[in-house]
């Protein structure tokens, strides 16, 4: 959560160039990979999260939250929520 409008805009434009910590970038890289194709998430990705300072609980929370949003968005898309 942030009230920094410039940061939000930078993240929306391209998180890879946004002014965020290396730790946050590793987390977002993982979330993007998980979102695009979860079958491509490998042990190296989890090891990268651990190396960035996330413990197993944090990795689980990141995975669950990203997966939940992916699920809800797909359900909404399938049901036409927000479309006319």
pLDDT in 10s for each residue of the chain, 84 residues: 778 899 999 999 999 999 999 999 999 999 999 999 999 999 999 999 999 999 999 999 999 999 999 999 999 999 999 887
Domain borders along the chain are 22-79
Distance CA 71, CA 69 (A): 5
Distance CA 69, CA 74 (A): 8
CA 75 to chain centre: 18
> How confident is the model at residue 59, as a pLDDT?
98
> How confident is the model at residue 3, as a pLDDT?
83
């Amino acid at each position: 959560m942030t009230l920094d409008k410039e940061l939000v805009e930078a993240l929306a434009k391209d998180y890879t160039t946004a002014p965020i910590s290396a730790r946050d970038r590793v987390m977002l890289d993982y979330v993007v990979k998980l979102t695009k194709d979860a079958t491509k998430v490998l042990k190296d990705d989890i090891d990268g999260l651990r190396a960035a300072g996330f413990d197993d609980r944090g990795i689980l929370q990141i995975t669950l939250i990203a997966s939940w949003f992916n699920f809800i968005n797909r359900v909404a898309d399938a049901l036409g929520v927000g479309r006319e």
